[in-house]
Amino acid sequence: MGKINHKSYGKLIDEIFSQGDSRYFNNYSESVMIDFLEKSAIEIERIDVSKFKKKPTKNEEDAISGPQKELKFLTKSIFEEYGIYLEGFEKRYPFGVVDVMGKKDGKTIFVECGPCRIDKGFNYMRTEDAELWVLTSELDLNSVGMQKVKLYTIKRGPNWQSTIKNYDEFRMHQLKKVKSPLDSL
């Protein structure tokens, strides 16, 4: 499909990150992500993954830790196809736990399988040479019991450096406004 130019960024963010699950929606993070998209600091691309769709065997599924096993298995298949080294599942990383992590040619690939926090879309990009992939799935009403799966890749855009710098300066300014009980000592 290629790069996404989208006028309704809020709807796009919900489709990719919160996926209708209100536990992952955050108004502040959404407004920050919209700002990154509008300023071309983040680029999003949708990739067709239908050719990778197959069900894991019981042994393959048992070898995968944590929830979302089918999407993790799909990620593993995609990694194999593209020669990406699988670092592991449920890896703790600054800014959260990533469902799947891989590496190729010095690039780190973080993969979220299903809904995730919106802020991962810009915080994981703080890692040099990183991409965030988000797999979404929804029930396909045309195929009984099947799911439509979409893969979105999130990468730094041309205005990443200036936008993240401004965001960090704003956050630091906001934090300095917060009163601490230690201030009166």
Closest CA to 13 of 37, 39, 40, 47: 37
Residue linked to tokens 């298949």: 77
Per-residue pLDDT of the chain (185 residues; tens, 9 = 90+): 456 655 688 889 999 999 888 888 889 999 999 999 999 999 999 988 877 766 766 777 777 777 788 888 889 999 999 999 999 999 998 888 999 999 999 999 999 999 999 999 999 999 999 999 999 986 555 554 556 788 999 999 999 999 999 999 988 888 888 887 777 76
Each residue of 95-107: pLDDT tens digit? 889 999 999 999 9
Quote the CA–CA distance of 144 and 124 in Å, as a whole number. Answer: 36
Quote the CA–CA distance of 89 and 57 in Å, as a whole number. Answer: 18
- DSSP-assigned letters across all residues of 41-104: SEEEEEE--GGG--PPPHHHHHTS-SS-HHHHHHHHHHHHHHT-EEEEEEEEETTEEEEEEEEE
Strand partners, 45: 3, 153
Strand partners, 61: none
